[in-house]
Amino acid sequence: MNEGIVRVLVLAGHGINCEEETAAAYRLAGAAPEIVHLSALLDGRSTLAAYRILHLPGGFSFGDDLGAGKALANRIRYRRLPSGKTLFDGLVAFVEGGCYVLGICNGFQTLVQMGLIPNTRGRYEQEVTLAPNDSGRFEDRWCRCAASPKTSTPFLRGMDVSALPVRHGEGKLLIRDERVRRAILAGSHNCLTYCDEDGNPAADYPANPNGSTLACAGLCDTTGRVLGMMPHPEAYLSAYNHPAWPHHRRARGGLVEAGEGLKVFLNAVTAARGGSAEGEAGSRSKEEMEWPGTEAAEEEAAWRR
C-alpha cells in the first residue's frame, strides 16, 4: 500500500444513505475511501485503526425513531465488541491519536449525541442537541454558510462564504446551559454559521433554515479534528450541482468545474496527510479548484489487488 494514500472509512448501514456520494467526494480529493457497514466494525471484521479519517454520512440511521442520530450513537457508545471494549472506546483513541472525524447531517446529530462535539471539557458528555426545525417540517433548500476565521478545524481552512444545501428535519442547535454556550463562543467551536447576503449570522428563516442557536450550521471539538455540520458539502462537488449554476459559475470566474463543497474534502485529505492547512488544499482559491485526477483511485485499486 502506498503510504501517501489517505484511507477513509465511510460508515454505512441501518438507514445511512449518503455513503456513495461521500466516497466520491473523497476520491475526487485524492483519498482512498472504503464504505464499511457498521456491523463490520461491531463484529471485528474492520477496525478504525486502519484509517486516518472516519466519516459519518447523512441519512436516517435507525429511522431516527429515538430522535435523530440517537440509536446510532447508543450503538457506537454501548455495544460491546468481541474484545470486550466498545466501538466508542476505539473512536476516542482514534481522535486522541490524531485522526479525523467528519459527521454530516445525521452524522452531526450522532456526534453530538455521543458527546464528541463540542466536548468543551474533554469529558465526552452531551452538551448540545439538534432539535426539530422551527418550521415544523423537513427543510430541503440551499443556504449561505460562513466559515469562522477563528476556527481551529482544518476542514474549513481557506473557506469564507459558501453555498451549500441542507436536507433535514432536526437541525436546530440547542445548548445545554450558559456555561456550555460561553465555552462554545470562547473556543470558537461554532465554526460554520448560516449567514445572510452580507455574510452576517442569520437569525431569521429561511436564511437560518431551522432556527439554530448562534445560527450554528457546524461545530468542532477543541482539537479541530472532529467536525459536525448540517449542510451537505458532498452534494455540491460539481459546479453543475447548484440549481443556479450558470450564475454561480460566472460569479466564480467562469472556468471553475468544482463545486464549493469539494473544498471540505480537499482540506480533510491535506490535513490527514500531515500537510499545512495553508498548503495544498487550504491555499487553493475557488477559481483554482479543478477536478482532481484519478491517481488515488488507481492506487487504491492496485492496493486491493
As annotated, the active-site residues are 105, 232, 234
- Using alpha carbons, list the distances in angstroms from residue 21 to 6, 18, 25, 98, 155: 18, 6, 6, 25, 18
C-alpha radius of gyration, the chain, whole number: 18
